[in-house]
Structure 1
Amino acid sequence: MKEKTSEYSNNFIYNIVKEDLKKNKFLSLRTRFPPEPNGYLHIGHAKSICLNFELANLHNGDCNLRFDDTNPSKEKIKYINSIKNDIKWLGYQWNKEIFYSSKYFLKLYQYAKELIKKNLAYVDQLTKEQIREYRGTLISPGKNSPYRNRNIKENLELFKKMKEGYFNEGEMCLRAKINMSSPYIVMRDPVLYRIIYTKHHQTKNQWCIYPMYDFAHCISDSIEGITHSFCTLEFQDNKRLYNWILENTSVSHYPKQYEFSRLNLKHSILSKRKIKTLIERKIINNWDDPRIQTISGLRRKGYTPSSIREFCKKIGVTKQNNLIEFSMLEYCIRNELNAKAIRTMAVLDPIKLYLYNIDDNYQEIFTVPNHPKKPELGTHEVIFTNTIYIEREDFKEKHEKNYKRLKIGTEIRLRYAYIIKAERIEKDIYGNIIQIICFCDLKTLGKKPTNRKNPAVIHWISIKNSYASEFRLYEKLFNIDNPEQEKNFLLFLNPKSIIIKNGFIEKKISEKIQQKINNIKTKNKNLFFQFERVGYFCVDLVDSKKDKLIFNRTVSLRDTWNKKKN
């Protein structure tokens, strides 16, 4: 059989898997993506999803979706549903049914009892704060709990009482008996079980003791026959505990853990705990806010599955931690939308322009391409009349010498239409410009001006062809490169992370959008546009209504963020 290849064929993890299969260490590859259902997935999870599913596909193996649901106080069904939806949206399908660590609770309980019987686990009565204090620091060893030397029989009885609900939360816990002087803090008698009186979304009220993530994770991998357990570098020390648990219980299968660098993205927060803080403080609206890099937020902003997969391929899989430029993510979606987004005109900050030498009843229709390089994408009609909207920034009463757009006494070409010349302005009693009065040269349609310089081009919309819309312009949420490192990360918020404009799109385009939004078959499929000279936008499918369209800017036409910094 010819070996499958892809961008995922060129990294150290692929080489490990290939070598293991070559040596017949495993009959077939089985990976897993094991999220905790305590929040929405983000772009860092997308990197792990792509790695695990792509490797399984390359080697004709399987990838399990398993929810490591060991803490019911932080887990919700809505998180499970969003995670399933995100994985499918990214283009992947998990192996068979969905797996849950909670399905193994009885087996996990029995393995915990096995450790007690081997005198490798004990029931502790220290509080959470005392356990932290006894654990020591990176430069000083820990000290033994006064309960560490309970006999096996007493530990078994207390553990059973924990399971039966005899104790309050925090009153008792089960700890592994390893080494309180270990140079690795994770090995200083880690907690294996704690008491939580919260209804579990899968097991309901069947249990009141729950395994810690580290204990459940490795045994769940073993039960499912996972061959390669991939995780990020911050779990490198946890590998010692992962292996210790497997080696000291009677599991029949030994998965191997391998670490790779996590995704760190500039100007972004990926911590679920910190994202929850942003939501609770009402700094962002929800998990799908387009200003954060959750998969649902990126989807709502207009990112596509293929652009995210392409980004994950470009950044690669290594063991070196680094901070990825946000512009790389933007490049991937800009490159894709440049090839497929429909071109149309939109005016986000309108000012009225009146062509005095054209009759009020005059109307002309231009047929314009939907894409300048792709005739197969078709055309649409643009209506031209004597009263139009242009962008406010495309006219300056007071301007610098090198200002190239419309000003009194200069000419400009209207996109797809005529050359016009600004002659005067009208203002209200407060000094605000009401409209710009211009002359329209009706001999210049599709022609270069005779004996005149070829003027700059601006976009426009006829008032008779305008449909009022809202435009949301997004910038980075944080003003510093790495807010994740800051304890007081809220101090570095960008106050202009969202700017809302109320302007117009072409009415004929709005009618087509409304038809697609109302069509059940396409209502969940986003619509992408390049608003000429403005940027790439998509319809906000969450907030748009029948009588009001809202557009999210996916990405600018160029990398403006790095230019602003420099």
Structure 2
Amino acid sequence: MSTVKNPPEPGRRMVSPNFITEIIDADLEAGRYAGVVTRFPPEPNGYAHLGHAIASYINFGIAHDYGGRCCLRFDDTNPETEKQEYVDSIIEDMRWLGWQWGETSYASNYFEELYRMALSLIERGLAYVDSVSPEEMARLRGSVDKPGTPSPYRERSVQENLELFARMRAGEFPNGAHVLRAKIDLASPNMKLRDPVLYRIVHAEHYRTGSRWCIYPSYDFAQATTDALDGVTHSLCSLEFVDNRAVYDWLMEHLWEGIRDQQRAERPQQDQQRAGRPYQYEFGRRSLEYTVVSKRKLRKLVAGGYVRGWDDPRMPTLAGQRRRGVTPEAIRAFASQVGISRTNRTVDIGLLEHAIRDDLNRRAPRVMAVTRPLKVVLTNLPDGHEETLHLAYWPHDVVQESPDGLVALPDGRRVRPEEATRAVPFTRELYIERDDFAPQPPPGFKRLTPGGTVRLRGAGIVRCDGYQTDDAGEVVELSCTLLGEGASAKGVIHWVSASRALRAEFRLYDRLFSVPHPEAEAKEHEEEEAEGGAVPLQEERDFLSFLNPKSLEVTHGYVEPSVAADPADTRYQFERMGYFWRDPVDSRPEALVFNRIVTLKDAWGKESERQTPKAERPKAPKAEHPHDAPDPTRTSARPFTAEQQERLERLKAQGVGEAEALVLAREPRLEAYLSEAARHGKIGPLASWVVNDLGSAIREEQVRVAPAQLAALLRLLEEGSINTRIAKDVLAEAQQGGEDPVAIVERKGLRQLSDAGALEPVVERVLAANPDKVAAYRAGKTGLMGFFVGQVMRETQGQANPQLLQELLSRKLAVNDES
């Protein structure tokens, strides 16, 4: 069975080639696996959000591309926060996205097997019950500069550990009294390997197993073991778990053989197809501007009443996006454009909005609605005048792009373009948008003014002869004349019949936060206020300080009557207003409620331009219609111009990744910086650093690292003189202080030790100091490679070239004792 409902055309990949697919290609070519099995393992402690959509796209997409399968497994090992409600919602969200899988898996299905695996570790002296407090355990673990100290309980006998662990399961001890820890290496430079916790006591009702268990496996223990039990080959996770990989490998080194033998006995036919154990691989995490995705913060928004529930259309949850009217196809297109890389990055929310607009442009028929009505009386038409106009649903560009020459009606039927029309009543009294009339127009205003003319979409040109106001001076009615064919007007506005239009409520949703990075902004403001002594002790500033007060505006107006006969899930483009659909919860035929899915253009970009000094503003290109004038500042949410499309294709042809190319094609400043840097280095690697590490500084014209300096720094990285961590730290320091990054490397002596002659004696000293571990490695415990790497890194203060170090260690450890 395919992992995807309505998959792309045969031969077309869902996930662009990347470093993970290169690993999979090599594994399949070497015969390590007969097929590819991935997994998507959410914890059911909240609703799925856009971050989950990206991660699920990667896992289900890769499984699709290789003809494999993806397992949906719930990592339900924390009974205090997990609910069936969240399981049901995540399953609904995954099906809505179009993913298909077999039987849903749960970590809780395997509790008994995991318990037996823990017993086997205890029996082999590889795990022990520890009884120190959490605070004492943290202290005994040491620090990055100081090795850990053994717990006084680390050398308990196997029998005592087995008895205590059995009593833990029986519920004899309170929460926190004991934990089960792996016995690995308290001196490891990787803190995760300093005897990680495998089981802890939690007296809480589990949503599936009830009170049958009061001990629960840790994340590290559950992930590796359930991956193996589910037959996963490639376990993909985000970059924050890179250090956990060592624990994953240690567990597989000691448990895989038993799991494999058990599976062969239980399912011999199936397991003949499985070749090897699973391995973990990490990709860079993606965060999104103008929102938060931390489940704790999302729960705070819901519990505090800042939003109307998990499915509030302003929320980044998939339930919220679905209620807003976003389609699964748009979410999948967005996830595809985000792509996979080795580094974390923040995604411009314009990329999501562009994907939504691009999807709706070909999906949403055009109709008219007035959200803030102002009455217009056509005084030269008789009372009761009414005629029916037949207006097209689709503009010429959509018709021209149709692959079969047909276009859709709201009910889904495809017809010839000339048949795709709706009946629109035109009457003596109309409504127009209040903002489309100005008694005292500002310069450049090209809509309706006293004595001025404007074209009513599809109906003709009118002239405003006068207007009436109420006691407060508010304009309440316009008196106009419908002019003949010889009239002219510069502007075009939309309208509806005052007597025939349907009343409706319009919910104008916008971005939930007023700043791109609300969490970072909150921290920055806290630090600034703390320096000035202005932070109240009782109330620290947090992300809620940056909620957008205009994230929801509710208006009442009218929509043309043709929508009454359309399916309830029809998406529309309300001309000049944005994309809308009926709220699936609150809208009723007699009381219509429309949610704005997304604006037609990036209004936030326009606000940015208004705040730019006049002399610095770029000129907007001349538009065919004044109300369609493009936004010159924030282009990330607009369809590509011909020039941008050409730039995009050129960048991709030069080797720039698709996600970076999409940003660069729309941002001339970033592209100009990259072009200059590419004169001194390779454009592909440079593009990622320009977009992800220097993008904000370049946009704000505050970059202090010259293009040639960035290229020189990346040359050091490419030749192995420094590693990625050093490069990022140095770049940040250079941007802050203005010093040449290469000079910082030299001044601080940060070059990696890449001389085999200098590194070899260090390797030999480490091996000579650990003969027992050398013997164990040569006996088959290859997971000890991480220990040796860590010891050498400690000796060299982290400056050993990792690739050279691996080669030297592999060569030295391969030599038998006799030689």
* TM band (smaller chain): over 0.9
Q: CA deviation at 1:418?
A: 2.2
Give CA deviations for 1:456-499 in whole Å, capped at 9, x if unaligned.
11111111122111111222212222234455222222121111
Partner of residue 469, structure 1: 504
Are 1:254 and 2:277 counterparts? yes
* The structure with more helix, counted as a fraction of residues: 2
**Relative to structure 2, which stretch is displaced further, 481-490 or 316-325?**
481-490
Q: Match of 2:207?
A: 201
Q: Show the counterpart of 2:300.
A: 277
Q: Deviations over 1:198-229 (max 9, x none)?
A: 22222222111111111011000111211110
Give the structure with the higher percent strand: 1
Could you tell me which of 296, 303, 307 is aligned with 2:330? 307
Structure 1 segment 397-436 matched on structure 2, within 5 A: 397-436=439-478
Out of 557, 560, 565, which is 2:603 matched to?
A: 560
Letter in 1 for 2:81: K
Does residue 367 (structure 1) correspond to residue 390 (structure 2)? The answer is: yes
| 2: CA distance, partners of 1:320 / 1:72 | 32
Question: Could you say what secondary structure the match of 1:529 adopts?
Answer: strand
**CA 1:129–1:491: 2 relative to 1, 3 Å:** farther
Q: Matched residues in 2 for 1:546 and 1:54: separation?
A: 39
Name the CA shift for 1:142/1:563 in 2 (closer, same or farther; >3 Å).
farther
Equivalences for residues 339-378 of structure 1 within 5 A: 339-373=362-396, 374=399, 376-377=407-408, 378=420
Following superposition, the deviation at residue 9 of structure 1 comes to 4.4
Give the Å deviation of 1:536.
0.9
Q: 2:196 aligns with which of 165, 190, 194?
A: 190
Residue number in structure 1 paired with 2:557: 503
Q: Is the 8 A contact 1:262 1:321 kept in 2?
A: yes
Query: How do 1:27-426 and structure 2 match up within 5 A?
Result: 27-94=34-101, 96-249=102-255, 250-252=258-260, 254-373=277-396, 374=399, 376-377=407-408, 378-426=420-468
- How far apart, CA to CA, are the structure 1 residues paired with 2:474 and 2:605? 34
Whether the 8 Å contact between 1:472 and 1:498 is mirrored in structure 2 is: yes
Q: Which residue of 2 aligns with 1:538?
A: 581
Count of matched residue pairs: 546
Give the deviation of 1:241 after TM superposition: 0.8
Secondary structure of the corresponding residue to residue 158 of structure 1: helix
Hey, what's the Cα distance between the residues in 2 that align with 1:561 and 1:142?
Answer: 51
Kindly provide the amino acid, as one letter, of the partner of residue 172 in structure 2.
Y
Give 1:522's aligned residue.
none
1:75 Cα deviation from its structure 2 partner:
0.9
Report the counterpart of residue 440 of structure 1 in structure 2.
482
SS in 1 for 2:549: coil
Whole-Å Cα distance in 2 between the matches of residues 3 and 12 of structure 1?
23
The CA distance in 2 between the partners of 1:71 and 1:150, in whole Å, is 28
Q: What is the aligned-residue RMSD (CA, Å)?
A: 1.9
1:340 match: secondary structure: coil
Letter in 2 for 1:117: E
2:390–2:423 Cα contact (<8 Å) kept:
yes
- The secondary structure found in structure 2 opposite 1:8 is coil
Task: Pick closer, same or farther for the CA change 1:246–1:540 going to 2, 3 Å.
Answer: same
**Counterpart contact for 2:49–2:316, Cα < 8 Å:** yes
Cα offset for 1:125?
Answer: 2.3
Hey, what's the Cα distance between the residues in 1 that align with 2:141 and 2:439? 70
Partner deviation per Cα, 1:126-175 (whole Å, 9 max, x = no partner): 33343334434444444333332322222111111110010112222212
CA distance in 2, matches of 1:178, 1:46: 36
Q: Which amino acid aligns with 1:533?
A: R
Alpha-carbon separation, structure 2, partners of 1:496 and 1:140: 51
Looking at structure 2, the residues matched to 546 and 197 of structure 1 have their Cα atoms a distance apart, in angstroms, of 50
Question: What is the alpha-carbon distance in structure 2 between the residues aligned to residue 396 and residue 138 of structure 1?
Answer: 67
- What residue is the counterpart of 1:512 in the other structure? 565
CA distance in structure 2 between the aligned counterparts of 1:89 and 1:356, rounded to whole angstroms:
51
Structure 1 residues 284 and 398 mapped into 2: Cα distance closer, same or farther (>3 Å)? same
Instruction: Tell me, in whole angstroms, the C-alpha distance in 2 between the residues paired with 1:426 and 1:129.
Output: 74
SS in 2 for 1:307: helix
After TM superposition, the score normalised by the length of structure 2 is 0.65
1:406/1:140 CA distance change after superposition, 3 Å: farther
Partner Cα distance (1:65, 1:208) in 2: 25
User: Is the CA contact 1:4–1:59 (under 8 Å) kept in the aligned structure 2?
Assistant: no
Q: Percent identity?
A: 43
| Larger RCO (CA under 8 A, 6+ residues apart) | 1
Amino acid at match of 1:502: H
Alpha-carbon separation, structure 1, partners of 2:298 and 2:562: 39
Question: Do 2:366 and 2:394's aligned partners in 1 also have CA atoms closer than 8 Å?
Answer: yes
Q: 1:3 to 1:341 in 2, by over 3 A?
A: closer
Whichever residue aligns with residue 529 of structure 1, its letter is: Y
**Cα distance, 1:120 vs. partner?**
2.2
Give the C-alpha shift of residue 254 in structure 1.
1.9
Instruction: Report if the CA contact (8 A) 2:453-2:489 is conserved.
Output: no
Contact map agreement 2:16 2:339 (CA 8 A) in 1: no
CA distance in structure 1 between the partners assigned to 2:595 and 2:469 by the alignment:
32
CA positional deviation for 1:23: 0.9
1:491 partner amino acid: S
Distance 1:217 1:415, change over 3 A: same
Cα distance in 2 between the residues matched to 1:258 and 1:136: 27
1:43, 1:88 → 2: CA distance? Answer: 15
Matches of 1:107 and 1:401, distance apart in 2: 75
Q: Conserved in 2, the CA contact under 8 Å of 1:368 and 1:416? A: yes
- Which amino acid in 2 is paired with 1:512? A
1:456 paired to 2:462: no
**2:544 aligned residue:** 490
Partner of 2:729: none
Equivalent AA in structure 2 for residue 297 of structure 1: G
Distance 1:304 1:225 in 2: 32
Asked if structure 1 preserves the Cα contact closer than 8 Å seen for 2:325 and 2:597, the reply is yes
The gaps in structure 2 that reach 5 residues or longer are 1-8, 261-275, 400-405, 409-419, 524-541, 610-819
Q: Which amino acid counterpart does residue 84 of structure 1 have in structure 2?
A: I
Structure 1, unaligned runs of 5 or more: 518-525
Instruction: Tell me whether 548-557 or 101-110 shows the greater mean CA deviation.
Output: 548-557
Inter-partner Cα distance in structure 2 for 1:534 and 1:384: 20
Deviations 1:75-101 (A, max 9, x none): 11111111111111111101x211111
Change (3 A) 1:544 1:136: farther
CA distance in 1, matches of 2:252, 2:503: 63
The Cα offsets for residues 345-372 of structure 1, whole Å up to 9 and x where unpaired, read as: 0001111111222212111110111112
Following TM superposition, by how much is the alpha carbon of 1:430 offset from its aligned partner in structure 2, in angstroms?
2.5
In the superposition, the TM-score normalised over structure 1's length comes to: 0.92
Contact residue 367 and residue 393 of structure 2 kept, 8 A: yes
- With 70-79 and 284-293 compared, the bigger mean Cα shift is at 284-293
